[in-house]
Structure 1
Amino acid sequence: MSDIASTPPRGKGNIARALELDTRLLGMIGALVVVCLIFNFLTDGRFLTPRNLFNLTIQTVSVAIMATGMVFVIVTRHIDLSVGSVLATCSAVMAMTQTRWLPEALGLDIGNPAIFWITVIVGIATGIVIGALHGWLIGYLTIPAFIVTLGGLLVWRNVAWYITSGQTIGPLDASYMKLGGINGTLGVQWSWIVGLIACATALLALFSARRNKLTHDHPVKPLWAEFSLGALICGGILGFIAILNAYEVPAARLRRIFEARGETLPEGYTEGYGLPISVLLLIAIAIAMTIIARRTRLGRYIFAFGGNPDAAELSGINTRLLTVKIFVMMGILCAISAMVASARLANHSNDIGTLDELRVIAAAVIGGTALSGGVGTIHGAILGALIMQSLQSGMAMVGVDAPFQNIVVGMVLVIAVLVDILYRKRMGDRT
């Protein structure tokens, strides 16, 4: 009852086993690579350009953030069909807060530093209230989560419409829009610094885990496997940073930036965007959710409840309060996703978050979260979101119509569930 899949035993001549890599994770990475290569071929090399990969990452963030919360929801044998509508309501509340309510009530003009922080607090509070309401209806009134969140899908989408009177609200605060991606990046130098810190942290975690195993006389990987795994992780991190840094700021934008500072753009000067703040936010959330899943009592209770609800309740776990906590967490993540989504668009629109519930559930399931409960991974859900966004972006670049894109997404979801059933049956037969 943990958020990590069962690790195959080590054996000679098998690199994956020696490195203790999850075969399902390797399969997902392989599927992502295949999808990218196919679309790169179909688009004459345009899919794997730094510009498209940069856009792909910032487009994935909103769904990926919610997918980390959906893992906990599905692990506990519930479902949340309302995430897209909750995102829309949070987005509407935050848009109205910074453009209408704060200027009218407190006289705070756009650009005031207080607007950003008040907006964030109001948005997260909205997500908490909605999540707590859902959790109370499900946990204490025992209404099935499917019914509660299906009703929420209809209710909150139209609440968002009434809050804004059906209007597009914008432009949004400049500080707020830094959460959207292109308007908020770390730049080349700071991106490399963050990448190096991430590598050092990953290596420290690997060898700290090895030392702890040796201290308790547990079996460990051979040293060559430890170094190889560390090299793979650092290579992936630094390669990702290099790709983002390779996307250069257009000359016209650079010229405007220099002119705003009263300077002249030097001849031949170039500058990369670097790591988006929204991606950094996703990484922080992923780390926090992983720590909750693996290192906290709440995480143990969540996976214990998902593995066997009756046994969890008999063992003294307050399953009703646990349900409320899970949906409050989901509401908070929907609010954060609303910040990222509306900041990327630079406004709140009526269709924001439409069909996100499908994408979020598909991301979690593709990432290995079992609909039967008890099993799921945070990193798998994020990878699932990246696969889904790669499919949609690739189809859009090829010229596939939007309705057919949704058909493909629906088919992928069904196939992912089928693969999950076959995989778990095979693993069960082995044991």
Structure 2
Amino acid sequence: MNKSAPQEAAPKRSLLQSLEVDTRLLGMIGAFVVICLVFNVFTDGRFLTARNIFNLSIQTVSVAIMATGMVFVIVTRHIDLSVGAVLAMCSAVMGVMQVQLLPQVFGLGHPLIMPITVIGGLLTGGLIGAFNGWLIGYQRIPAFIVTLGGLLIWRNVGWYLTDGQTLGPLDPTFRLVGGVDGTVGAMVSWVLGVIFSIAAVFVLWRARQAKIQHEFPVKPMWAEGVLMGTAVVAIMGFIGILNSYEIPVGRLKRQFQQAGEVMPEGYVDYYGLPISVLLLIVIAVAMTLLAQRTRLGRYIFAAGGNPDAAELSGINTRMLTVKIFTLMGILCAISAMVAQARLANHTNDIGTLDELRVIAAAVIGGTALAGGIGTIYGAVLGAIIMQSLQSGMAMVGVDAPFQNIVVGGVLVLAVWIDIQYRKRTGEKV
């Protein structure tokens, strides 16, 4: 009777292997933590205050929104160098509409000024993006050339549109989108934090159930619990920090005076979650669903991974290019709305060098320049890292030219690290 060979014991898995965490994502989070700790030391603890985190969050939004669209552009092996100029053009259109044109038609402070202005900005961005996509997809002009031309054209068209003037003050309702004047308050922020936490746990649980249903290996239940707990702590911690930032007494008094009331003695209120950050969260979730759950998203990644095979399989890559750049233009318009509202006016240098920051955010977030690979959450995290670097250097007193040198160096370093990572893992470089 033959004795069966003894079964080999399953190899022990490390904590990271059990959690199945993306090592690149973990590396970005680690880099962000290091940046925060280093700048917190050099600024004598001012970097990690509630006030600075609030300011950092609203300063990140406009670049992060565009970075979510840049992921699709780079995934399909294109590039968009015109995003900063398109943002300036959309800002000029919205500035002219709400400062010069619409008040003459409706009067100052009319409730229709805000929606009509937003529609005008979105149409401007969408049309410019569609035009770029048509030139690239149907006329076969390289995206580098088309968007480099746009970099030179659109900002200067906006300059002529405004006669080179700074436009303001903006409509009060419009300014709420900037984050400084528009927050949802502490109570609503806590409610949203609970909703976001429940949603995060639900998504992780549904992903586990889907793997079980299709008989794929799953993490141990304790590992799932660790990830769920980490997500909840991160969300509620962020909300808690924002809710600890007190509104200055002078601002509170002005708010009571505008309402015709007297502020009670010792009254205290908190900012909470900025509307602009809430808008970024909604866009990031929508773009993630678009990438992972829709036919358009599957086509984008298929075309980026192998354009020839995508065309042979029946994907209209030319129209796909038009759709991607149209979406990029619309996101530029939304970013223009946020940036303009945060500054409380339109300036002709708005969005300057944003093309560098947006591309850097997408690449630092793991989007492969070779195409086919990229994540929305990675691009948002990349934008946060870029803004943390710039804000920290500004607080330390680093000159603006050297800040740009550091940003450029970080971009090159990120691409080099990405190439080395793909070589080690056997992925396409």
TM norm. shorter chain > 0.5: yes
Match of 1:4 in 2: none
1:313 and 2:311 are equivalent in the alignment: yes
- Say which is worse superposed, 256-265 or 226-235, in terms of deviation: 256-265
> Out of 166, 174, 197, which is 1:168 matched to?
166
Match of 1:86 in 2: 86
Give the CA deviation at 1:16.
Answer: 1.7
| One-letter amino acid of the counterpart of residue 302, structure 2 | A
| One-letter amino acid of the counterpart of residue 296, structure 2 | L
- State whether residues 12 and 18 of structure 1, in contact with CA within 8 Å, keep that contact through their aligned partners in structure 2: no
- State whether residues 11 and 17 of structure 1, in contact with CA within 8 Å, keep that contact through their aligned partners in structure 2: no
1:369 and 2:367 are equivalent in the alignment: yes
Match of 2:7 in 1: none
Deviations 1:42-76 (A, max 9, x none): 11111000000100000000000000000000000
Q: How does 1:412-423 map to 2 (within 5 A)?
A: 412-423=410-421
Match of 1:15 in 2: 15
Match of 1:334 in 2: 332
Aligned equivalents of 1:148, 1:286: Cα separation in 2: 27
| One-letter amino acid of the counterpart of residue 377, structure 2 | H
- 1:184/1:11 Cα in 2 relative to 1: closer, same or farther (>3 Å)? farther
Q: How does 1:24-423 map to 2 (within 5 A)?
A: 24-104=24-104, 107-423=105-421
Aligned equivalents of 1:328, 1:117: Cα separation in 2: 20
- CA radius of gyration, larger in: 2
- State whether residues 73 and 327 of structure 1, in contact with CA within 8 Å, keep that contact through their aligned partners in structure 2: yes
- State whether residues 177 and 343 of structure 1, in contact with CA within 8 Å, keep that contact through their aligned partners in structure 2: yes
- Give me the TM-score of the superposition, normalised by structure 1: 0.95
SS in 2 for 1:270: coil
Aligned equivalents of 1:11, 1:344: Cα separation in 2: 54
- State whether residues 175 and 182 of structure 2, in contact with CA within 8 Å, keep that contact through their aligned partners in structure 1: yes
Aligned equivalents of 1:15, 1:185: Cα separation in 2: 39
Runs of 5+ consecutive residues of structure 2 not aligned to the other structure: 1-9
Aligned equivalents of 1:427, 1:272: Cα separation in 2: 47
- State whether residues 81 and 144 of structure 2, in contact with CA within 8 Å, keep that contact through their aligned partners in structure 1: yes
SS in 2 for 1:12: coil
- 1:206/1:119 Cα in 2 relative to 1: closer, same or farther (>3 Å)? same
- State whether residues 50 and 241 of structure 2, in contact with CA within 8 Å, keep that contact through their aligned partners in structure 1: yes
Match of 2:5 in 1: none
- 1:216/1:270 Cα in 2 relative to 1: closer, same or farther (>3 Å)? same
Give the CA deviation at 1:364.
Answer: 0.3
Give the CA deviation at 1:225.
Answer: 1.1
SS in 1 for 2:112: helix
SS in 1 for 2:371: coil
Aligned equivalents of 1:38, 1:213: Cα separation in 2: 40
Deviations 1:207-229 (A, max 9, x none): 22222222232222111111111
Aligned equivalents of 2:163, 2:24: Cα separation in 1: 46
- State whether residues 133 and 326 of structure 2, in contact with CA within 8 Å, keep that contact through their aligned partners in structure 1: yes
Aligned equivalents of 1:214, 1:85: Cα separation in 2: 48
SS in 2 for 1:113: coil
Give the CA deviation at 1:103.
Answer: 2.5
Aligned equivalents of 1:424, 1:80: Cα separation in 2: 24
RMSD of aligned C-alpha atoms? 1.3
Deviations 1:126-164 (A, max 9, x none): 011000000000000000000000000000010010010
Give the CA deviation at 1:201.
Answer: 1.1
- State whether residues 178 and 277 of structure 1, in contact with CA within 8 Å, keep that contact through their aligned partners in structure 2: yes
Aligned equivalents of 2:249, 2:255: Cα separation in 1: 10
- State whether residues 11 and 18 of structure 1, in contact with CA within 8 Å, keep that contact through their aligned partners in structure 2: no
| One-letter amino acid of the counterpart of residue 42, structure 2 | L
- State whether residues 178 and 276 of structure 2, in contact with CA within 8 Å, keep that contact through their aligned partners in structure 1: yes
- State whether residues 254 and 265 of structure 1, in contact with CA within 8 Å, keep that contact through their aligned partners in structure 2: yes
Runs of 5+ consecutive residues of structure 1 not aligned to the other structure: 1-9
- State whether residues 103 and 109 of structure 2, in contact with CA within 8 Å, keep that contact through their aligned partners in structure 1: no
SS in 1 for 2:351: coil
Deviations 1:12-68 (A, max 9, x none): 342222122101000000000001111111111110000001000000000000000
| One-letter amino acid of the counterpart of residue 57, structure 1 | S
- State whether residues 241 and 275 of structure 1, in contact with CA within 8 Å, keep that contact through their aligned partners in structure 2: yes
Aligned equivalents of 1:17, 1:403: Cα separation in 2: 42
Number of aligned pairs?
Answer: 419
- Say which is worse superposed, 261-270 or 318-327, in terms of deviation: 261-270
Give the CA deviation at 1:261.
Answer: 1.8
SS in 1 for 2:426: helix
| One-letter amino acid of the counterpart of residue 385, structure 1 | A
Moved over 3 A (4+): 10-13
SS in 1 for 2:401: helix
- State whether residues 102 and 108 of structure 1, in contact with CA within 8 Å, keep that contact through their aligned partners in structure 2: yes
- 1:86/1:11 Cα in 2 relative to 1: closer, same or farther (>3 Å)? farther
- Give me the TM-score of the superposition, normalised by structure 2: 0.96
- State whether residues 306 and 373 of structure 1, in contact with CA within 8 Å, keep that contact through their aligned partners in structure 2: yes
Aligned equivalents of 2:405, 2:203: Cα separation in 1: 42
Percent of residue pairs identical? 69
Match of 1:5 in 2: none
Give the CA deviation at 1:11.
Answer: 6.7
- 1:429/1:357 Cα in 2 relative to 1: closer, same or farther (>3 Å)? closer
| One-letter amino acid of the counterpart of residue 48, structure 2 | L
Give the CA deviation at 1:400.
Answer: 0.6
